[in-house]
Amino acid sequence: MVRRILLVSFVVLNVLPLFDASKPQDPYKVLGVDKNASQRDIKKAFHKLSLQYHPDKNKAKGAQEKFAEINNAYEILSDEEKRKNYDLYGHDTPNPGFENSNFGGNRDGYTYFTSGGAGAGAGPGRNFFRSDQSGWQSMGGQGNTKTYSFSFGGGDPSGGFGFGDIFSNFFGGASGDQSGGFGNFGGSKPNSRPATTAEIVDVTSQYFNKQIVDKGMTWLLIFFTPGSRQYLSLETLVEDVANSLDGALKAGKINCANEKSVCQKAGLTGGRSARLYVYSYTSSDKGSLVEYTGDYTAKNLKAFCQEHLPRFSKRVDISQFVFPSNNVENLPQVLLLSTKKDTPVMWRALSGLYRKRFLFYDAQVHDASNPIMKRLGVTSLPAVIGRTVDGKEHVIRAGISVKDLKSGIDELKSLLESFEKKNKKVAASHKSKKQSQPDQQETPVPVLSASNFDNVCGEKVAVCVIGVFRSSKSREMLEKILAEISQKTLVRRQSGSSVKYALLDANKQSAFLSSFDKSGYKSYDKLIVAYKPRKGRFATLTQNLTMEEAEKFVGSVLNGDVQFSNVRQKLVLR
């Protein structure tokens, strides 16, 4: 035993002086930041450099070594304790003044050892190498007190001196340690990440199923396993993008070693590199995982995430738009008016979060002087208009001003929720009124005849909208459509004009229809005619007679966006 101790002593005392005692790289200089740099600045510098020199991206000579230096520097500066120790002692470990150890101290990035010395409790053959609770290895015993010094790598992936295996059992280099013994000398503590605005959530399978799946929020997710390549650089990249889209996007990380079911959904069964996915709503009402395979830059990743935000808001032409009345679920409807060519990011995000509570629309308007804005009662842009279940339109807010994406989304959330409460009150009042007056019937749309023609479609009327039917089924459908349209405020907000609605039995009034068209529209079971009695002009809708298309047609008629034709002859009713 004594001979083995003497042999190890010979190795330690005689081999160490032969090593190069070069200083480690200054982590501030490696990352190109000032000593007073914030954690945010350090993170950005690391992200930029790690992407530039990553071995998967950069095959140039020396790139791998440079990448190792960058990671080592970031490991020190991103941990407040290690950074403080480096600023004080020139390295990321504290000044070794432990009781009963014979370290000579730390100076200018060098750690000094003594080969012996009369440490407390030391004696021949006792505790030549021992570990204290800090993980440091100390040497006891008596004899030669000659001091040796060297500089160690502090997590350098290159392996420090390259002799890590020789000393792994003595200097804390556990099996599987990629630092090569000296790189993990003394045992490093887990890297503490600085806090950021956008949190990267640890996502478990349960969390994924309950908080992400079909909740309407877009997520940017890192899939990784312990030791995955490029994880740190991706984490920094994800934080940057999540911060820039805060409010519209959330970020998370999924450890595939523990959460195999989620990773299998993404088609991940292995691999050494971390990967990025977006939980997207662009392909259907249900969310799905879409992998990001582009360049690892904040600009490109942000564009990819924006592309995969929800698209539940319907883009419409404001010159022809009217709120649909066939709202089966009686949901409130909201329309965003803005100068944006495409649907704004915050509106897309909201359309995902509230897609089961509202019907969303949006339209581009170049300026508030547009005549349509006056008709809608909007004085400034952007503006949000809503329709309650009773068919009335309301200007929810005009001239909306926000300082950033998150505050804008929060403000619009407040507006939507307030309008939703108003709609519930209207719905409750409407229901209560119907229950208290069960025998009250809505005024039916009259059927045109010779006796009522002057009153319904005479020259005192600006526009007469006539639903023409040939069967009882068509009559029922047209009556419902025209009755609902007649109750709308948007299509009736025409000052100085009156609009009347009527039905016409085509089987009995073929001559009347021939006044518009020689064929008398005999090939159609149903159609809608918009007739202007004062000018003797008309326009027709013969295809796609849905509630929405009928509303668009009537709105276009009132806005003057439909081409009219002259009647062929005087209208005659039997």
Q: Write the pLDDT tens digit of every residue in 390-414.
A: 888 999 999 998 888 999 999 999 9
Q: Give the residue with greater pLDDT, 371 vs 92.
A: 371
Fold adopted by 200-307: Glutaredoxin (3.40.30)
Please state which of the ranges 53-57, 333-337, 344-348, 354-358 shows the lowest mean pLDDT. 53-57
At residue 277, does pLDDT exceed 60? Answer: yes
Q: Are the C-beta atoms of 203 and 254 separated by less than 8 Å?
A: yes
The stretch 471-489 carries a mean pLDDT of 86
Within a 10 A sphere around the Cβ of 35, how many other Cβ atoms? Answer: 11
Class of domain 2-184: mainly alpha
**Which CATH number does 314-436 carry?**
3.40.30.10
Q: Are the C-beta atoms of 118 and 142 separated by less than 8 Å?
A: yes
Residue 428 pLDDT:
85
Instruction: Please identify which residue in the block is written with the tokens 């990001």.
Output: 292
Q: Give the residue with greater pLDDT, 114 vs 516.
A: 516
Please state which of the ranges 32-36, 263-267, 464-468 shows the lowest mean pLDDT. 263-267
At residue 327, does pLDDT exceed 80? Answer: no
At residue 492, does pLDDT exceed 50? Answer: no
- 314-436 and 453-566, same CATH topology: yes
Homologous superfamily of 453-566 in CATH? Glutaredoxin (3.40.30.10)
* The most confident of 265-274, 524-533, 545-554, by mean pLDDT: 524-533
Residue 265 pLDDT:
80
The percentage of the chain sitting over the pLDDT mark of 90, rounded to a whole number, equals: 38
Q: Are the C-beta atoms of 75 and 82 separated by less than 8 Å?
A: yes
The stretch 507-516 carries a mean pLDDT of 91
The stretch 87-92 carries a mean pLDDT of 74
At residue 97, does pLDDT exceed 80? Answer: no
Confidence of residue 88 (pLDDT cuts 50, 70, 90): confident
The tokens describing 104, both together, are 């000579």
What element of type H or E holds 477? helix 472-486
At residue 102, does pLDDT exceed 70? Answer: no
The tokens describing 476, both together, are 């029922």
Confidence of residue 271 (pLDDT cuts 50, 70, 90): low
Confidence of residue 178 (pLDDT cuts 50, 70, 90): very low
Rounded to whole angstroms, the Cα distance separating 572 from 453 reads 10
Rounded to whole angstroms, the Cα distance separating 74 from 27 reads 7
Confidence of residue 467 (pLDDT cuts 50, 70, 90): very high
The percentage of the chain sitting over the pLDDT mark of 70, rounded to a whole number, equals: 71
Mean pLDDT (the chain) is: 76
The C-alpha angle with vertex 558 and arms to 552 and 560, in degrees rounded to 5, equals 100
At residue 142, does pLDDT exceed 80? Answer: no
Write out the DSSP string of 31-89: HT--TT--HHHHHHHHHHHHHHH-TTT--STTHHHHHHHHHHHHHHHTSHHHHHHHHHH
The C-alpha angle with vertex 285 and arms to 283 and 290, in degrees rounded to 5, equals 40
Task: Provide φ and ψ at 60, rounded to 5°.
Answer: -70, 155
Q: Give the three-class secondary structure for 292.
A: strand
Residue 78 pLDDT:
87
What element of type H or E holds 528? strand 526-532
Provide the CB-side half-sphere exposure for 441 (13 A, CA). 3
At residue 417, does pLDDT exceed 90? Answer: yes
pLDDT tens-place string over residues 181-223: 323 323 333 333 444 467 899 999 999 999 999 999 999 999 9
Write down the pTM of the prediction. 0.52
At residue 440, does pLDDT exceed 60? Answer: no
At residue 363, does pLDDT exceed 90? Answer: yes
Q: Are the C-beta atoms of 239 and 43 separated by less than 8 Å?
A: yes
Residue 149 pLDDT:
30
The secondary structure of residue 16, as a DSSP letter, is G
Q: What order do you get walking across the sheet with 393-398 strand by strand?
A: 313-315, 359-364, 333-338, 383-387, 393-398
Q: Are the C-beta atoms of 320 and 556 separated by less than 8 Å?
A: yes
**Domain ranges across the chain:** 2-184, 200-307, 314-436, 453-566
Confidence of residue 137 (pLDDT cuts 50, 70, 90): very low
Q: Are the C-beta atoms of 564 and 539 separated by less than 8 Å?
A: yes
